[in-house]
Amino acid sequence: MIKITVFGAGTWGIALARLLAANGRDVTVWSAIPEELKSLSVTHRHPNLPGMQLPSAMHYTADIGEACKGRDILLFAVPSPFVRATARKAAPFIPEGQLIVDVAKGIEDKTLLTMSEIIEDELRKCGRTARVVALSGPTHAEEVARDMPTLIVAASEDEDAAKAVQKVFSTPTFRVYTNTDRRGTELGGAVKNVIALAVGIAMGLGYGDNAKAALITRGNAELARLGAAMGCRAETFSGLSGMGDLIVTCTSMHSRNLHAGMLLGRGKTAEEAKAEVGQVVEGINALPAARRLARKYKVDMPIVQSVDAILSGRLAAGDALATLMGRGLKRE
């Protein structure tokens, strides 16, 4: 039986843990919060995934050394701000050549590293290497937890590693593709959250479907320009981890980033919006890095710039449309 540890007991980590356990994998969930683990082990439910029942055979531990021992796959599903700290704790216990899957979406502000690169960085400090695969795409935990049809991408330059993840994670309702553009895959997963904030702001201001479609399309153009400047493959951004993830995040009421953006459009501050959403809003975390990447690679990203101006208080949400619409006319 394939043994997997899931780091993180949030909705996405638990939805994947349930999917894997229900399909014959030996699954252990690690969390730094013992009360969280106790609740899951006793109730077999997650408070933010109503209607989902966890298999009784799942295991739970707060011992990170135990969590890393003898595992075929380590799955990082902690929120992006905690990936480095978790990787640092786990690194001394991770064997050389370990297969690791990351599903957190984000870019670290100080280093501009993706989540997979952060994991590799922490392992390198311990003198180890690993086969790290990014698993990303248009995937809401609420739907995966109910076995609704879902498609996703396992990305790594190590094609054998990506194919191994594809085989382990694929189920009749969870179809996994592979590609070799890990950086592009992770970039799409991070920047789309910022675009979703923009779409939410537009909705909060009362704008309609025309504005939503424009922001999604032009947002993807910004993402693709940045990806090209960073050496990523163009087709990545028209695929599941690019346009696919962008569409689902910008149109679904499951989306925390969309919800936060709507609150911003209605006049809430960023802190008020995060408090009302009640869960991590990854777009707010990814925004500083997206802006820095745009400057570093000299890429024009007006939608990202507008969201940054709104969150920093330099631009009122209601004035953002005029700023975007008043830009110089150009070819598409």
Q: Are residues 25 and 88 in the same domain?
A: yes
Question: Is residue 237, in this structure, part of any structural domain at all?
Answer: yes
Domain end point (choices 156, 180, 204): 180
pLDDT value of position 323? 87
Strand partners, 7: 30, 76
| CA dist., res. 202 & res. 250, Å (int) | 11
| CA dist., res. 168 & res. 219, Å (int) | 33
Q: Are residues 37 and 55 in the same domain?
A: yes
Question: Is residue 332, in this structure, part of any structural domain at all?
Answer: no
pLDDT value of position 320? 86
SS3 letters across 40-70:
HHHHCCCCCCCCCCCCCCCEEECCHHHHHCC
Q: Are residues 209 and 164 in the same domain?
A: no
Q: Helices 256-265 and 282-296 sit at what angle, rounded to 10 degrees?
A: 80
Residues designated catalytic = 192
| CA dist., res. 100 & res. 88, Å (int) | 14
* Three-state secondary-structure class, residue 100: strand
Domain end point (choices 180, 203, 221): 180
Question: Is residue 221, in this structure, part of any structural domain at all?
Answer: yes
For residue 68, which amino acid is it? C
Question: Is residue 330, in this structure, part of any structural domain at all?
Answer: no
pLDDT value of position 253? 81
Please report, in angstroms and rounded to a whole number, the separation of the first and last CA atoms in the chain: 52
Residue with tokens 């910004």: 222
Q: Are residues 100 and 80 in the same domain?
A: yes
For residue 130, which amino acid is it? A
For residue 105, which amino acid is it? K
Number of domains in the chain: 2
Question: Is residue 148, in this structure, part of any structural domain at all?
Answer: yes
Question: Is residue 331, in this structure, part of any structural domain at all?
Answer: no
**Residue 293 is part of which domain span?**
189-325
| CA dist., res. 189 & res. 245, Å (int) | 7
Strands 130-136, 150-155: pairing kind: antiparallel
Contacts of 181 (CB under 8 A, 6+ apart): 155, 232, 233, 236
Numbered residues of the known binding site: 8-13, 82, 105, 137, 139, 141, 192, 245, 255-257, 280, 282
| CA dist., res. 267 & res. 122, Å (int) | 40
Instruction: At 217, list the tokens.
Output: 């399309």
| CA dist., res. 97 & res. 206, Å (int) | 51
Q: Are residues 170 and 57 in the same domain?
A: yes
Q: Are residues 11 and 157 in the same domain?
A: yes
Numbered residues of the known binding site for NADPH: 11-12, 105, 141, 256, 280, 282
The CATH number of the domain where 91 resides is what?
A: 3.40.50.720
Instruction: At 254, list the tokens.
Output: 């499951």
| CA dist., res. 81 & res. 177, Å (int) | 27
Question: Is residue 52, in this structure, part of any structural domain at all?
Answer: yes
Instruction: At 11, list the tokens.
Output: 């909705």
Numbered residues of the known binding site for substrate: 105, 256-257
Question: Is residue 250, in this structure, part of any structural domain at all?
Answer: yes
Q: Are residues 62 and 169 in the same domain?
A: yes
Instruction: At 284, list the tokens.
Output: 């707010």
The CATH number of the domain where 277 resides is what?
A: 1.10.1040.10
For residues 76 and 102, is the Cβ–Cβ distance under 8 A? Answer: yes
pLDDT value of position 242? 96
DSSP per-residue string spanning 280-296: --HHHHHHHHHHHHHHH
Q: Are residues 154 and 269 in the same domain?
A: no
Q: Are residues 95 and 140 in the same domain?
A: yes
Q: Are residues 138 and 75 in the same domain?
A: yes
Q: Are residues 273 and 169 in the same domain?
A: no
Q: Are residues 52 and 150 in the same domain?
A: yes
Write the burial class of residue 49 (CB in 10 Å: 0-12 exposed, 13-18 middle, 19+ buried): buried
pLDDT averaged over 10-residue windows placed end to end, the chain, 332 residues: 97 98 97 95 95 96 97 97 97 98 95 97 97 97 96 98 98 98 97 96 95 96 96 96 96 91 93 90 92 96 95 90 86 87
Domain end point (choices 148, 180, 212): 180
* Three-state secondary-structure class, residue 330: coil
pLDDT value of position 278? 87
Instruction: At 116, list the tokens.
Output: 């997979």
69: number of Cβ within 10 Å: 14
